[in-house]
Amino acid sequence: MNDGLLSIENLSKGFSSSGRRVAALDNVSLTIAAGETLGLVGASGSGKSTLSRILLRLVAADAGSIRFEGEDWLALNGAPLRRRRARMQMVFQDPLAAFNPLASVGAVLDDPLRIHGVAKDRRPGEIVELLERVGLTADHAGRPVRALSGGQRQRVAIARAIATRPSLLVLDEAVSALDVTVRGRILELLVDLQKEQGIACLFISHDLAVVRAVSHRIAVMDGGRIVEVGPAAAVVAAPQSEAARALVAAVPRLVTDPC
Ligand SMILES: Nc1ncnc2c1ncn2[C@@H]1O[C@H](COP(=O)(O)OP(=O)(O)O)[C@@H](O)[C@H]1O
Ligand SMILES: [Mg+2]
């Protein structure tokens, strides 16, 4: 890919559980271009979260390499890694697990701005801008996170993720806990942000309908491997692998009535 932002090559990771070796990732290679949304879909246990945790440097890989913004991402450590983390941010399924529920929304958004060197007097203004960008208002800054609805919390999580001006967002089951209406609105927000700001996304879900709604390309995982990758419409209309066919069959209206 010409302006490759992220390039993952031959990534492998095994876990030992009850004496058995599980290949959570088996020679996974993927690329994401600047501004692209790549959907990563697969059944539960196919290795999606392991891939996201390795990308975020929460878990070490056994083998393979990752280039991100031209750097050897897995070789970065210490202060340089902390600085570069601003460029790759994560949105999890459960926003409450990601921040202190007693903290105010303003404090949650102040943290990344402070850590990444935004001057104190500029931070309140940036917090309001961030809130408005994700469809909330300045009023929300003073509220505790636990007083918000699930959808509002996920908006705060997205605001926090984009606060450091990342070039890549990794979203792992980010809308899976939300009811259908709220989920639709959050997906719309993601598509808008992506268009307005050109942030690339790795959008991970077990649900092909959700992935289809936001992705330019879709990669399908099965048993730790990428078994298929192609333009989103093509993967949905003419799935090539067994795993992709099973995911398409699970959403019968997908081909005729895309989201
Ligand atoms: N910390 C761990 N210890 C042992 N096995 C793990 C661990 N994390 C993941 N696995 C195993 O790796 C495989 C892939 O898991 P995961 O990446 O969570 O898949 P997904 O996100 O697609 O559901 C599963 O078989 C899972 O049980
Ligand atoms: Mg997972």
101 or 8: which leads in pLDDT: 8
Give the residue whose CA is nearest to atom 11 of ligand 1.
24
Q: How far is the CA of 205 from the centre of ligand 2 (A)?
A: 8
**83 within ligand 1 shell (Cβ under 6 A):** no
**90 within ligand 1 shell (Cβ under 6 A):** no
**151 within ligand 1 shell (Cβ under 6 A):** no
Q: Ligand 1 pocket test: which of 16, 17, 58 has the largest number of ligand atoms within 8 Å of its C-beta?
A: 17
Q: Which pLDDT tens digit goes with each residue over 87-130?
A: 999 998 877 777 787 899 999 999 999 988 999 999 999 999 99
Q: Hey, what are 167's tokens?
A: 């070039």
254 or 143: which leads in pLDDT: 143
What is the rounded average pLDDT of the residues 226-247?
A: 95
**Lowest-pLDDT range, 36-40, 90-94, 165-169, 234-238?**
90-94
Q: Which pLDDT tens digit goes with each residue over 208-224?
A: 999 999 999 999 999 99
**CA separation, residue 96 to residues 79, 92, 135 (Å):** 27, 9, 19
Q: How far is 219 from 226, CA to CA, in rounded Å?
A: 7
Instruction: Please report which confidence band the pLDDT of residue 258 belongs to, taking 50, 70 and 90 as the band edges.
Output: very low
Query: Is the four-CA dihedral 187, 152, 87, 173 of positive or negative sign?
Result: negative
CA nearest 52: which of 99, 83, 84, 6?
A: 6
Q: How far is 5 from 70, CA to CA, in rounded Å?
A: 7
CA nearest 45: which of 241, 224, 170?
A: 224
Residue 256 has a pLDDT of 44
Atom of ligand 1 lying closest to residue 53 CA: 17
Share of the chain above pLDDT 90, in %: 78
**238 within ligand 1 shell (Cβ under 6 A):** no
Residue 95 has a pLDDT of 72
Q: Ligand 1 pocket test: which of 11, 49, 222 has the largest number of ligand atoms within 8 Å of its C-beta?
A: 49
**44 within ligand 1 shell (Cβ under 6 A):** yes
Residue 3 has a pLDDT of 62
Residue 148 CB neighbours (<10 A): 19
Query: Is the four-CA dihedral 104, 106, 107, 109 of positive or negative sign?
Result: positive
**16 within ligand 1 shell (Cβ under 6 A):** no
Residue 98 has a pLDDT of 73
Ligand at minimal distance from the CA of 43 is 1
Average pLDDT, the chain: 92
Q: Which pLDDT tens digit goes with each residue over 37-54?
A: 999 999 999 999 999 999
**37 within ligand 1 shell (Cβ under 6 A):** no
**50 within ligand 1 shell (Cβ under 6 A):** yes
Residue 1 has a pLDDT of 44
Residue 54 has a pLDDT of 98
Q: How far is the CA of 55 from the centre of ligand 1 (A)?
A: 15
Atom of ligand 1 lying closest to residue 16 CA: 4
Q: How far is the CA of 24 from the centre of ligand 1 (A)?
A: 6
CA nearest 96: which of 41, 138, 37, 144?
A: 144
Residue 251 CB neighbours (<10 A): 16
Instruction: Please report which confidence band the pLDDT of residue 181 belongs to, taking 50, 70 and 90 as the band edges.
Output: confident
Q: How far is 76 from 82, CA to CA, in rounded Å?
A: 9
Sort strands 225-231 and 71-72 into parallel, antiparallel or unpaired: unpaired
Residue 224 has a pLDDT of 98
